[in-house]
Each structure stands twice: as structure tokens, then as C-alpha cells.
Amino acid sequence: MLKPVADVNEVNDEEYLDWGSAEKFKTEIGIGECAGVKIDLAKTLLFEANEKLDEADYFFLNQQYADAAYTVYSSIIQTAKCYLLKLGIETNSKEQIQKEFENHYEKVAAYFIQPTFESLIYEYRNASESAAENSDWIQTGKRFYELINILIDKK
């Protein structure tokens, strides 16, 4: 079906124009439908991590404590990844994020009772047992997000 369109032997000059432009298309970065935008990946991921905390609130209000607990866990992992990205440390798995962030946990550890990042993130296992524990866990996630956001803004 697309073979006729893929044949470049019969291309007209007007096919080398950007949509709505009279100038001939050139392969360079510029204005047009192919131009990309530059975004701050860490800030975008941080925004999504905050949205997960909002989702956790929704799950909590609907008494879906296991979903709320795991969503907070995911937010904490994603927030830690953002911080690592700002430091130039790339990670591709939750295990890598956990291992790499452990070296930076001391910057926020004073605000948590858990002595290590590993012990902090595994609190989610207990958070689905009761509304009180789940509420505490959500507050832990929000505190972690806020602290890392402050650290990222200082970078």
C-alpha cells in the first residue's frame, strides 16, 4: 500500500517544501513540523513522580491501600532517579536506582527514621496493612519528593 509513496524517483520539487513554507526543505534544526523542543528530563520525571503521589491519595481515599503503597514506592524510586539524572548518573532499573541513590541518601536521611534508602523504600510492604500506616507512608513519599526537589533546584 505504501510502496508508491516510498518511491523517490518521481519526487516533485514542491514535495521538498515544509508545510506552509515557500522555502525548500533542508535537513537542519529549525522551525517546522519536524523541529523538536528541548525539555529538562529530570524535571519532567519529577513532575510525573508528584502526579503519582496524587494518585496514591486517590487510592487511599478509595481504601485501595496496596495500590496506594506501591504508587508511593514508585514515586520515591522515580524521584531518586531524577536526582541521579541531575548528577549525570544514568540508571535503567529500580535496582540500579536503589543502589546508586544509597550513596546520596545521607543528604535526606535526617528527615527519616530509616537509616538506609533500601530500608526506606521497603516500608511500602507494611503500608498496605492499615489506613494509619498507609497514610504515614504517603506522607513519607511526599516528604521525600519535597526534599529531593529542593536538592535538585540547588543544582
C-alpha cell at 76: 520515591
Q: For the chain of 155 residues, list the mean pLDDT of each consecutive stretch of 10.
A: 66 67 60 56 90 97 95 96 93 93 94 93 85 94 95 82
CA nearest to 113, candidates 146, 136, 86, 84: 136
The owner of cell 525548500 is 24
Report the pLDDT value the prediction gives residue 124, as an integer from 0 to 100.
83
pLDDT value for 30? 47
CATH architecture type of domain 41-154: Up-down Bundle (1.20)
Q: What is residue 40's predicted lDDT score, i.e. its pLDDT?
A: 76
Q: Where are the domains of the chain?
A: 41-154
- Per-residue model confidence (pLDDT) at position 15: 66
Global pTM exceeds 0.85? no
- How far apart are alpha carbons 29 and 39 in whole angstroms? 16
CA–CA dist 97, 80 (Å, integer) = 7
